[in-house]
Structure 1
Amino acid sequence: MVPDPAAAHFGDGSFPLGPDTNLAVGEGLGGVAAWLRGALRLALPAGSDGLRLAVDSALPLEGYVLKVAAEGILITGGSPAGVFYGAQTLRQLLPPSALRRAGGESWALPYADISDAPRFGWRGVMLDVARHFMSVADVLRFIDLAAFHKLNVLHLHLTDDQGWRIEVPGWPRLTSVAAWRPATMLGSRVHGRYDERPHGGFYTADDLREIVAYAAERWVTVVPEVDMPGHMQAAIAAYPALGNGFAGGVRTGWGISTHVLNLSDESLSFCQDVLSFVCSIFPSPLIGIGGDECPADEWASSPVVAREGLRGPAELQGWFTGRMAGYLAGLGRQVFGWDELLAFGVPKKAVIAAWRGVPPAVTAAKAGVPVVSCPDISCYLDYRQSDDPGEPTPVGTLLSLADVYGFDPVPAELSASEAAFVLGGQANVWTEHMESARRVDYMTYPRLCAFAETVWSGASRDFADFRRRLDAHLPRLDALGVNYRPMSGPRPWDARPDAPGHPRTLADRLAELHGMTADLRRA
């Protein structure tokens, strides 16, 4: 099974599960029961002598016990979420064919006694739909696969320089202009290649509500991110008054744009309108505002510096973040932002996503700031999977299956009390080089299987044992229609010779990160 449960014992014998198996549903578990009937494609009529779902508050909140014996199947969870995870484990006890869309079969479940609970409360995956738009159907499928592996947070990166993906009342040009770019860069930016084909798309309010509701049924919290005050070129292209004199279009190349918000009253009002709309759609207590990679070049002569009594343009981002944090607090929400916020003063109750290697997670935890570990050198699934020249658009450092499996969200430098501020971990799927859901599959799986185990199972893990279990797990991905990377390496049609990459060594990246995190040392 993947992730590996805390304890699993199997006995001789099996219990038949089929269309006529009765289902007894405990209080508050109607949603889990409805999902399970759909997932198994079985009627499961009401009754007490087959499969039973129950809550036992003595168990950990997301923990469960799954028992299969002669008298039937019992899934008990510490909450409905725990029961849901027990049901996901039940699906892995079935043959891979049970995961296909054909229904109405009967299967023999082996006698089993499984006890399990997650190591971390934040088991996340970020999906970037700004660089390459993904349809609602593709996002829902992404959620299904994440939930199958017991991940419980979808960080949805909705806006960036290369595209704006949500409608906002009162700002129609965000969807008519900011959601579309005239061309897309092919491969690493060092090559300067473009396809000259328009790309774009956006989600309506109803689309977003559907995504949120679908995720909630699978106990996945959707944490939205609207990056600000940097990574805003698409919005500024639609509304130039938000910028600092820029009059160009939506960015077509990768990399960091220097065109940022001007932080005028109009810009602040715009950001508040966006956040108000986002909060009306997403019930997540945390709302992502980015805060990363924001060059201060265009703020050199900002009148806001003198007006607010700041010492220089470098202090503007901290001032802006404080304003947005205060606005979100008034809506009952907290800031979720990238680790650059550590250098500017972290708002009260904010959560930091530590991506620039390991040091930011250490800095945050030692300062008592809740942090989600997602260092690029371990968790960026756009990074290349091997040195095989057939890997599509190989960028970044080598991040193999074993490398991902070796990740631990808790840095070794932390004491036990400091480690308590590490909420968990997150894998990030940046889509500059993933032009389709099929390509997202290839780059994400099976590495996300390995990552899921790092945030669910215990700190002590065995990669050889995981590889053995993964061999049994891959047919499940086949049944689910996942275009995962074969263990034998890329196939001839996986290569992207039209979109060349730019591989990096780990040593080079670590040196680069050391320079990038100088702001933390200064802070």
Structure 2
Amino acid sequence: MDLIPAPSVVRLSAEPGLPLGPLTTLLGGPGTEAAAAWLRAALGAATGLPLPAPEGEPSAAVIELRLDGELAPEEYRISVSAERALLTAGGSAGAHWAAETLRQLLGPDAFRRAPLRRTGWLLPACELADAPRFGWRGALLDVSRHFLPKADLLRYVDLLAAHKLNVLHLHLTDDQGWRFEVRRYPRLTSVGGWRERSMVGFRAADRRDEQPHGGFYTQDDLRELVAYAAQRGITVVPEIDLPGHMQAAIAAYPELGNTDVVDTAALGVWTDWGVSENVLNVADTTLAFFEGVLEELLEVFPSEYVHLGGDECPKDQWRASAAAQARIKELGLADEDELQSWFIRHFDRWLAERGRRLIGWDEILQGGLAPGAAVSSWQGYAGGVAAARAGHPVVMCPEQYVYLDHRQADGPDEPIPVGFVRTLEDVYRFEPVPPSLDPVSARQVIGTQANLWTEFMNDARDLDYRAFPRLAAFAEVAWSDLPRDPAARDWPGFERRMAEHYARLEALGVEYRPADGPHPWQRRPGVLGRPTDGPVPAR
């Protein structure tokens, strides 16, 4: 029963279990239809069994999914006997998590897309009870720095669902590329959607690949992604990062930049990694432009939260801009930090009027936090602690602990080493709620998130290497009721369970980092990174 993430309660039985065969039926009750359809497709592909819905009273073994209003929406129970497997859940999402667990019970071969065998499939007799610790169990995927084709995005959704992660935070825009189709502003993708070349490794190497890079998602592509994710219990939260990280948009529409400071018409989509100094101006026309962008975004993404970035916005151009300084004076603001806060507060109100909620990186605390905003705490715990104490929802994602683009070992074979060393064990011992929070404030931590920034990930193979197996450890941190003291966690037990989970990842075709170091083809010899020396800061 090497399940990941670990369920709350597992009781094994001495009964012989439930064999699956050609006559096995699968029944999805009201509210579980999507989970039942997924389970029939997934297990049917792996086992070659039809698993039809029963006609009348089932005459053979049956797998049944049903809802129980006594359970929380993501809570579920599994009961397997020699006669049937009953999956009970509080809602459609819980039904899908129950189905994902049932697939794990059948072993790694159940994760393949075609049958290696058609006999010998057995569900062990057991009783499981399970529910998540956090309601927000997220993974950020940056598709701006390196575009990921739609098929790879859909595959990534499947990988999140297999680990019971329920939020895909999609970073759609940045200095290096705009990936969201905006029909009223087509140049955002025709110009902003590609760059002439890309930096190879970190800036100090001064290397470029001289290969154009780009791509974007149509609104229908993203509607498909949203629906596909929803069928698997996952919410897609879009991010349009503003007012900084906007050079791709300014390259497409130069009037969005600080034209009294810089010749914005000469700007292209940025080919460097890092933080561009070219930020949005603060004119009413710019606010209206992005209201138009967000109107189309809201039509595609039904999520309660919309991420508007707010991070790493250099203020030099605003300090030099007569127009920005006049705006500060007109509004009676103290400085440029308050100007950014005013900018974010405008969209906080705008989203609230439409029944949505703004979430941003912890820099939105600077100059005053917008009244309805939630905070993604990435610069350590401090921003999240301050926001939680002020009564704002917080998603903990400190870079020192759960930035999975950071290197996995301190050695010469690690490809493009950046950031802190974060091993599988390090991630398993990450605790999202710092002990400094009192119980009331701690309840404002609505979840946690692992982030994958793709400056140094060119494609899905690179993404697999950086994400796995560490994302499996993170999933257990986000889902399971682990000891709050990281030192008290059963690392040897998790490591033992991972032996089975590696086989699942292999069956899924995930090119994870081996425990003893990268394969030769996973290395990038000679490509300069930016490792961070010294210990990870304490929480």
TM-score (norm 2): 0.92
Q: Which is further off, 169-178 or 11-20?
A: 11-20
Q: Does 1:256 align with 2:268?
A: no
Equivalent in the alignment of 1:180: 194
Q: Quick one: structure 1 residues 374 and 506, their matched pair in 2 at CA, closer, same or farther if it must change by over 3 Å?
A: farther
Equivalent in the alignment of 1:14: 17
Return the alpha-carbon distance in structure 2 between the equivalents of residues 89 and 368 of structure 1: 35
Equivalent in the alignment of 1:278: 297
Task: Report the Cα offset of residue 363 of structure 1.
Answer: 1.2
Structure 2 unaligned residues grouped into runs of 5+: 484-488
SS state at 1:184 partner: coil
Structure 1 unaligned residues grouped into runs of 5+: 514-523
Equivalent in the alignment of 2:98: 86
Match of 1:490 among 495, 509, 518: 518
Equivalent in the alignment of 2:234: 220
Q: Does 1:476 align with 2:504?
A: yes
Return the alpha-carbon distance in structure 2 between the equivalents of residues 99 and 67 of structure 1: 21
Q: Does 1:143 align with 2:166?
A: no
Return the alpha-carbon distance in structure 2 between the equivalents of residues 75 and 322 of structure 1: 45
Contact (CA 8 Å) 1:187, 1:498: kept in 2 or not? Answer: no
Q: Does 1:376 align with 2:399?
A: yes
Q: Does 1:26 align with 2:40?
A: no
SS state at 1:467 partner: helix
1:68-467 to 2 correspondence within 5 Å?
Answer: 68-103=80-115, 105-106=118-119, 107-245=121-259, 246=264, 247-300=266-319, 301=321, 302=324, 303-460=326-483, 461-467=489-495
Task: Report the Cα offset of residue 510 of structure 1.
Answer: 4.5
Q: Deviations over 1:331-362 (max 9, x none)?
A: 21110100111123222332110000121121
Match of 2:4 among 2, 24, 32: 2
Letter in 1 for 2:145: R
Task: Report the Cα offset of residue 191 of structure 1.
Answer: 2.0
Task: Report the Cα offset of residue 66 of structure 1.
Answer: 0.7
Return the alpha-carbon distance in structure 2 between the equivalents of residues 404 and 19 of structure 1: 42
Return the alpha-carbon distance in structure 2 between the equivalents of residues 305 and 360 of structure 1: 25
Report percent identity of matched pairs: 52
TM-score (norm 1): 0.95
Return the alpha-carbon distance in structure 2 between the equivalents of residues 198 and 485 of structure 1: 28
Q: Deviations over 1:267-320 (max 9, x none)?
A: 111110111111000000110100000011111131322232223323210110
Return the alpha-carbon distance in structure 2 between the equivalents of residues 327 and 78 of structure 1: 33
Return the alpha-carbon distance in structure 2 between the equivalents of residues 163 and 24 of structure 1: 46
Q: Deviations over 1:156-188 (max 9, x none)?
A: 000000000011022111111101111101112
Return the alpha-carbon distance in structure 2 between the equivalents of residues 290 and 60 of structure 1: 31
Task: Report the Cα offset of residue 98 of structure 1.
Answer: 1.6
Task: Report the Cα offset of residue 498 of structure 1.
Answer: 4.5
Contact (CA 8 Å) 1:161, 1:257: kept in 2 or not? Answer: yes
State the superposition RMSD in angstroms: 1.5
Return the alpha-carbon distance in structure 1 between the equivalents of residues 175 and 236 of structure 2: 22
Task: Report the Cα offset of residue 10 of structure 1.
Answer: 1.5
Equivalent in the alignment of 1:520: none
Return the alpha-carbon distance in structure 2 between the equivalents of residues 194 and 294 of structure 1: 25
Letter in 1 for 2:28: V
SS state at 2:473 partner: helix
Contact (CA 8 Å) 2:104, 2:110: kept in 1 or not? Answer: no
Match of 2:50 among 36, 40, 43: 43
Equivalent in the alignment of 2:486: none
Return the alpha-carbon distance in structure 2 between the equivalents of residues 38 and 506 of structure 1: 48
Contact (CA 8 Å) 2:242, 2:309: kept in 1 or not? Answer: yes
Q: Which is further off, 497-506 or 267-276?
A: 497-506
Letter in 1 for 2:118: E
Match of 2:531 among 487, 490, 503: 503
Letter in 2 for 1:341: I
Q: Quick one: structure 1 residues 19 and 206, their matched pair in 2 at CA, closer, same or farther if it must change by over 3 Å?
A: farther
Contact (CA 8 Å) 2:30, 2:66: kept in 1 or not? Answer: yes
